[in-house]
A and B are shown apart, each in its own frame.
Chain A
């Protein structure tokens, strides 16, 4: 689980990969060629980015003839939702403390 979280964070830390992932989320399945045109970087660079996204399970691929098609797997974002849950608990606790402090400041 920890490795999965790290992979997702690492994969999405790069702006080009974020853009590719977002494009796949928005447009549905895309070929490597289409993604290369969209990203404005070389095809080998796009392929490398896709490999990182694949490792993080953020995308899946299938071959059809000479083309490889990629699609987004938004479920892989689940580790980030966990992160938000944890921070949510942290801040709610801090809000309680802040409220207590404000009460004490009246005195």
Chain B
């Protein structure tokens, strides 16, 4: 038996005119990550558990539970991304190009039925993402 069909993957790619090393810093140094993503206690160490924190809203703690899955300096970084009972994996891949670096972000994953936070979730995914965008996206 396989379980491939419903595991959907989101891929976002962009080339940026900056060297790999510099982008790697932005992806792996806590104070830099905070500037473009969220407050965190990230460490580039496989197995390290950390959290991303956004402003809590009713029905959502604002916490994303993560664990570092892969660290290949300057080229590949992966961490699990768990919130609202949905566990996914975010993988960053950096490839040098003539003018800079090609950045690929892949997020794949699915909610786990066992998760207490999923069962207790007052708000579902659509609401959550909407809030996430408003709260941490600075749109309000």
**A16 and B126: CB pair below 8 A?**
no
Chain B residues with CB below 8 A from A14, complex form: 113
**B5 and A93: CB pair below 8 A?**
no
**B3 and A15: CB pair below 8 A?**
yes
Q: Is B57 an interface residue (CB 8 A)?
A: no
* Contact (A105, B22) CB under 8 Å given A83-B126, A87-B107, A91-B107: yes
**B126 and A12: CB pair below 8 A?**
no
A21 to B3, CA, bound (A): 9
**B6 and A12: CB pair below 8 A?**
yes
Interface of B is mostly: mixed
**CB under 8 Å from chain A, chain B span 93-140:** 103, 105, 107, 110-113, 118, 124-127, 129-130, 132-133, 137
* Contact (A93, B133) CB under 8 Å given A5-B125, A98-B36, A102-B16: yes
**CB under 8 Å from chain B, chain A span 1-50:** 1-2, 5-6, 9-10, 12-16, 18-19, 21-22, 25, 38-40
17 further A-B pairs in the complex, CB-CB below 8 A; given A40-B1, A98-B36, A101-B36: A2-B126, A5-B124, A9-B111, A10-B111, A12-B110, A18-B3, A21-B5, A22-B2, A82-B126, A83-B126, A84-B10, A86-B129, A101-B35, A102-B23, A105-B22, A105-B25, A105-B32
A95 to B11, CA, bound (A): 12
**B8 and A94: CB pair below 8 A?**
no
A16 to B36, CA, bound (A): 39
The 10 closest A-B pairs by CB, nearest first: A86-B129, A97-B36, A13-B113, A19-B1, A22-B5, A18-B3, A12-B6, A98-B36, A9-B111, A2-B124
**Can you list 26 A-B contacts with CB-CB less than 8 angstroms, sorted by A residue number?**
A1-B126, A14-B113, A16-B1, A19-B1, A19-B2, A19-B3, A39-B1, A79-B126, A83-B126, A84-B10, A86-B130, A86-B133, A87-B107, A87-B129, A90-B129, A91-B10, A93-B133, A94-B36, A95-B12, A95-B105, A97-B36, A98-B26, A101-B35, A102-B16, A102-B18, A105-B26
